[in-house]
Amino acid sequence: DSGVTQTPKHLITATGQRVTLRCSPRSGDLSVYWYQQSLDQGLQFLIQYYNGEERAKGNILERFSAQQFPDLHSELNLSSLELGDSALYFCASSKRGGGDTEAFFGQGTRLTVV
């Protein structure tokens, strides 16, 4: 158990809909990363937050947004969903940003858009 909790584990939704993925980081970790992994692909970095502030942005679509709350949990909002958004979405947390320390991953949310 990494200590990072992601909910829900599975999500099936229709095209055009909006969903929210939730991540609770490990206790004491200030940095949260979001990644998208399509079938048999690498991890695409989406966005990173550190202590409530956005710190880095990757290949995140305009239809996607995220935030980190004062209690440090984070949410990733995906809207106007398309079939191609079907993927595993991972959240990871670390004590600091910059990849200076190991990141701990949640078990992911498997999103299926039908």
Partner 1 sequence: SQQGEEDPQALSIQEGENATMNCSYKTSINNLQWYRQNSGRGLVHLILIRSNEREKHSGRLRVTLDTSKKSSSLLITASRAADTASYFCATGGRTGANNLFFGTGTRLTVIP
Residue 88 lies near partner 1 (rule: CB under 8 A): yes
Among the listed residues 56, 16, 38, 47, the one whose alpha carbon sits nearest the alpha carbon of residue 108: 38
Closest CA to 91 of 100, 103, 80: 103
Q: Which of 3, 8, 84, 98 binds partner 1 (CB under 8 A)?
A: 98
Q: Does 16 bind partner 1 (CB under 8 A)?
A: no
In angstroms, give the least distance from the CB of 25 to partner 1.
13
- Asked if 106 touches partner 1 (CB under 8 A), the answer is yes
What residues have CB less than 8 Å from 20, skipping those under 6 apart?
75, 76, 77, 78
User: Interface with partner 1 by CB under 8 A: which range of 18-26, 39-47, 62-70, 79-87?
Assistant: 39-47
Judged by CB under 8 A, does residue 56 bind partner 1? yes
Distance CA 89, CA 97 (A): 19
